[in-house]
Chain A
């Protein structure tokens, strides 16, 4: 299915399956390191991970199973091996998942021997924390309550996230260390100054920071790094045949929560996903890219942004992301 060892979905036998378990020093001596763009991005992300882990009491790494969180987890391993991660990994689970992503999540975390916390939106619904929007409605926005409840329950004071500034115009404004008040809110008019690489994440009890080590990475940087490092990903990122319906100009995968409405035709397409989120609002793109290199070539000439192509949740209003972030979203 794939052409090279480190260039394909995570099931490819050649992908370094046990990375992270090998104590460093036992690996073959690496090629002399060129300090290029990706090396500097990697080094900075590792710096942020170590800095925040050292300065917070109860950090946590948010892991969705998507490509950005796969990169983030990989960087965390690089920052702290040969020891274990000094924080657990947490998935805010909408319940509207692609099974491939959950499988990848579980395999990856157990392979690394790290601790996984699953904060479930379904639980929040069952406990009456949020109204049930109905079986087929997007649970994207509901994640905020589940996330903030989990932060309170575990007394997390720092949450690592894989968000990038090139994703959205509100994210473009956010600090690497982004302060959240006791309500979990982001106030874009009152962000802390962030000078040089002096990241300052002191908080009072009940407050927390979100830390974004991938702030300065672009979508292209992420894929080039995935290729260089041989990072495994869920299969849905690579072209495959799938039943889809077209809705609001997006191709949604037909699944338990996405059924064709009257008048909508189901068809089979060769698609892949550019982002991974709630299945009810994450669109697929038509693509034949089956390897990381083919994906890099494809996004390099794409005329549509990553989220523009695939996220219904950003289409509600002009400032949908900002509004969600103000409420405490990722």
Chain B
């Protein structure tokens, strides 16, 4: 395989090349880091000094061969304990495309870090140790990825060497994945029998799996559609254009323009917009960038806009095309992944950061908890660390929200502990998002919209 260096570096070609952001997920020790290491090694993405450093680190620990997991497990504690603690981001390129890779930790204690890595991924590389099959943590990761809106899974039935490349073991994983994917509403998935340790079916096709004729891991990654994080900072088609106001730019000669990143759809000069939560109507008279004005700003681009009317717009407000504006609510139902040792309970006070606004919020009730094995929501009154559930939230000021399924930017939020300032939850606005709808608690649990 050519390495990054052998691709064309001509500006027009190279920078126009498409990109896939993917996250390696799955249970602890199932071989995610080894697989990513193998992928990087066999596609020759590594520099000579990096390979030498990994060889030396392996030798120092008495590991006979190179431990490929050391390519991403770069922290002292990770190498000592042989597990991944936090996400490693790696960048790779083949002649077909560029990749941004997030190698996530599998240990349940670091689920928050897995969610971090998966939240900007367009594809999940789900690694399953074929000896143990799908474990609770495998299912938790699959659930979180699906909730976050990852709709393509490339599943690796790993460690096939340990079962002598037994087709039955591979089929068992495939059957379990089929059922899981159906329940999660993940439409695109495939299972590849691999041995990350030796590299079978990772980059090089294996002779060992005679029963398998599908793509290698690299081929699957090269063939996958690029997705929304690669092309527009998470924007999927559907919602109208939105611009959460980040910053008010004052012109030296007077006048203000409102800076932020466009999402949802393209914003055009002349568009009629609503300023939320206030509800004022006005018109975009100009879209500015440092490089000059634009007639149209596509999703994912940072701009500043001028408005026809002199309104008191400030950071935290949202400009939305008037024909398709989000709802303004103070009460909402959401799915949350909880990341704190202290359980989340009804009555808890937290801060919510939603788009560019941070405001106090109260959890009016915890409604349900997802049982990741049965993929069912049970009634619950609290969520423990690393649990996923549905909650009713009341915010101090109204927020302009879309269902997460429609718009990842206006549909997502984090919860912040008021005492420690730690980020303690990832939240996704349900559909329908208005509190009080009993159906909402079950519907909120799949990003695809099909009730779990």
Interface residues of A (CB under 8 A from B): 23-25, 27-30, 33-40, 42-44, 46-47, 50-51, 53-55, 77-83, 165-166, 168-170, 172-173, 175, 188-189, 191-198, 200, 202-204, 215-216, 218, 220, 224, 227-228, 296-297, 299-305, 308-309, 318-319, 322-323
Contact = CB atoms under 8 A, between A and B. Distances in A.
A34 B423 CA distance: 35
Contacts of B211: none
Contact of A188 (B85, B120, B300): B85
A322 B50 contact: no
Contact of A28 (B14, B292, B423): B292
Nearest to A77: B290
B120 A196 contact: yes
B85 A200 contact: no
A42 B74 CA distance: 27
B179 interface: no
Given A29-B292, A39-B301, A318 B426 contact: no
Q: Which residue among A35, A165, A193, A323 has the maximum number of chain B CB atoms within 10 Å of its CB?
A: A193
Interface string B144-184: 00000000000000000000000000000000000000000
B315 A54 contact: yes
Q: Which residue among A24, A224, A322 has the maximum number of chain B CB atoms within 10 Å of its CB?
A: A24
A54 B246 contact: yes
A30 B74 CA distance: 43
28 contacts: A23-B251, A24-B288, A33-B298, A36-B16, A38-B15, A39-B301, A43-B261, A50-B260, A51-B246, A51-B356, A79-B247, A79-B259, A80-B247, A83-B251, A165-B89, A172-B74, A191-B113, A196-B408, A196-B412, A198-B413, A220-B14, A224-B14, A227-B11, A300-B5, A300-B7, A301-B6, A318-B76, A319-B74
Contacts of A303: 47-48
The 10 closest A-B pairs by CB, nearest first: A169-B74, A308-B49, A305-B47, A78-B290, A46-B302, A202-B421, A301-B5, A193-B112, A43-B302, A50-B246
A76 to B, nearest CB: 11
Contacts of A46: 261, 302
Given A50-B247, A54-B246, A170-B75, A200 B47 contact: no
B145 to A, nearest CB: 13
B63 interface: no
Given A43-B233, A303-B47, A322-B74, A200 B353 contact: yes
Given A37-B15, A47-B302, A224-B14, A198 B412 contact: yes
A218 B91 contact: yes
B409 interface: yes
B353 A198 contact: yes
A324 to B, nearest CB: 12
A191 B259 CA distance: 29
Contacts of A82: 249, 251-252
Contact of A200 (B5, B77, B232, B414): B414
B57 interface: yes
A66 to B, nearest CB: 20
Given A194-B423, A200-B414, A302 B47 contact: yes
Contacts of B120: 196-197
Given A40-B231, A191-B86, 6 more contacts: A27-B291, A36-B16, A50-B260, A172-B90, A173-B88, A196-B408
Contact of B50 (A224, A299, A305): A305
Given A37-B98, A54-B247, A173 B412 contact: no
B359 to A, nearest CB: 13
Contacts of A55: 358
Contacts of B423: 192-195, 200
A202 B88 contact: no
Interface string B321-360: 0000000000000000001000000000001010010100
Nearest to B57: A318
Contacts of A301: 5-6
B207 interface: no
B74 A166 contact: no
A198 B423 CA distance: 10
B377 interface: no
A168 B442 CA distance: 43
Given A220-B9, A296-B9, A195 B426 contact: yes
A308 B17 CA distance: 27
Contacts of B409: 196-197
B294 interface: yes
A200 B16 CA distance: 31
Contacts of A194: 116, 119, 423
